[in-house]
Amino acid sequence: MTTALRSFLSYVRYRGDITSDLAAAVPIVANWSLSSIPRAIGRDEVTHLLASIDRQTPIGCRDYAMILALARLGLRSSEVVTLELDDIDWVAGEIHVVGKNGQRNDLPLPADVGEAIADYLQKSRPRNASRRVFLRDKAPIRGFTGQCGLGSVIRRSLKRAGIDAPTKGTHQFRHGLASEMLRGGASLGEIGEVLGHRHVQTTAIYAKVNLNALRTLALPWPGEAQ
* Domains (range + CATH), the chain: 1-31 (no CATH), 43-211 (1.10.443.10)
pLDDT in tens, 117-175: 999 999 999 999 999 999 998 888 998 887 788 889 999 999 999 988 877 788 888 87
Contacts of residue 7, Cβ cutoff 8 Å, sequence gap at least 6: 23
User: Would you say the pTM of this structure is higher than 0.85?
Assistant: no
Q: What angle do CA 171, 172, 177 make, to 5 degrees?
A: 100
Q: Report the C-alpha gap between 34 and 158 in whole angstroms.
A: 28
The residues assigned a catalytic role are 76, 100, 171, 174, 197, 206
Task: Say how many CA atoms lie within 13 Å of 27 toward its Cβ.
Answer: 3
pLDDT in tens, 47-99: 999 999 999 999 999 999 999 999 988 888 888 999 999 999 999 999 998 77
Does pLDDT of 212 surpass 60? no
pLDDT in tens, 97-108: 877 766 777 888
